[in-house]
Amino acid sequence: MEEEIKDQRIQDYLADALEGEELKDFENQMQQDPELAAEVAGYQNLERGLHGIGVEHLATEISAWEADYQQAQTTETKAVPFRPYYAVAAAITLLIVTGIFLFWNPTPDMAELYAQHYTPYEDMILDRSDATEGTQELLVQGMEAYNNQQYAQAEERLQEYLTQAPDQYGAALYLGIAQLETDRFEAAEASFTTALQDANFEQQAQWYLSLLYLKSDQPEETLTALQTIANSPQHYKNREATALLEEIE
């Protein structure tokens, strides 16, 4: 079947313009020619897609384009096949579907995700006697302020404490959280990095680092930090990090 005749027959078939023997003959051709059947099915899927997204008028527009274009051709000019107009329709449909997909799948709100997953870490520094007598009061005051959500005061006291007892890495976790609460991101990152050196607080520091990157809108760093946790089955935040990754991606 010549291309132009085939294209016209497909048009007529899709428009329910074939009747009687013509319809039966075309359906027999589709049964015998898998490529023809696939081409017709492709056009049918396209039309269903157009109807499904509420742009039925587009088919009418395409038919009008076809008619106008054919009318403009001279008798010496070879008629343009029907296929290019369906290609235009497919391209427009793709744009519309893509727009709908983006509408229903917006970029995740990092601030909202942060609020959903962030809670200050509970006070686990039960024994405060490791500090010398001169610095112990700073630790006590710092953690009391932390527990009372007085984060600026907690930062001040814990910073003083760590200046005098720099090897007390666990306190750096709480210092980092206090700094995170007040949006002092660079200082918090440094504190969490310090806390990584304490085996008792390493996992917590990893988790809060990932939340810091999330809150400060650093997507690449957020994904890297979360992936590290998700790849560690024994991590106490493994499941939550995996779920958060799925929400972001």
pLDDT per residue as tens digits for the range 79-134: 555 455 555 555 655 555 555 444 444 456 888 999 999 999 999 885 555 555 66
Query: pTM for this structure?
Result: 0.58
**What is the model's pLDDT at position 100?**
46
Under CATH, which architecture does the 110-248 domain have? Alpha Horseshoe (1.25)
Sequential DSSP letters for 82-141: SHHHHHHHHHHHHHHHHHHHHHHSPPP-HHHHHHHH--PPP------TTS-HHHHHHHHH
Residue 214 has pLDDT above 50, yes or no: yes
- Between these two residues, 220 and 2, which has the higher pLDDT value? 220
Domain spans of the chain, in order of start: 3-104, 110-248
| C-alpha gyration radius of the chain | 33
pLDDT-derived band at 65, boundaries 50, 70, 90: low
In order of 40, 50, 76, 85, 219, the CA distances from 55 in angstroms are 20, 6, 36, 16, 36
Question: For residue 93, what pLDDT is reported?
Answer: 57
Question: Where does the chain have alpha helices with state H?
Answer: 3-14, 20-32, 34-52, 57-72, 83-104, 110-117, 133-147, 151-164, 169-181, 185-195, 202-215, 219-230, 238-248
- Among 112-116, 136-140, 208-212, which range has the highest average pLDDT? 208-212
pLDDT tier, 231 (very low <50, low <70, confident <90, very high otherwise): very high
Residue in 194, 220, 221 with CA at minimum distance from that of residue 205: 194
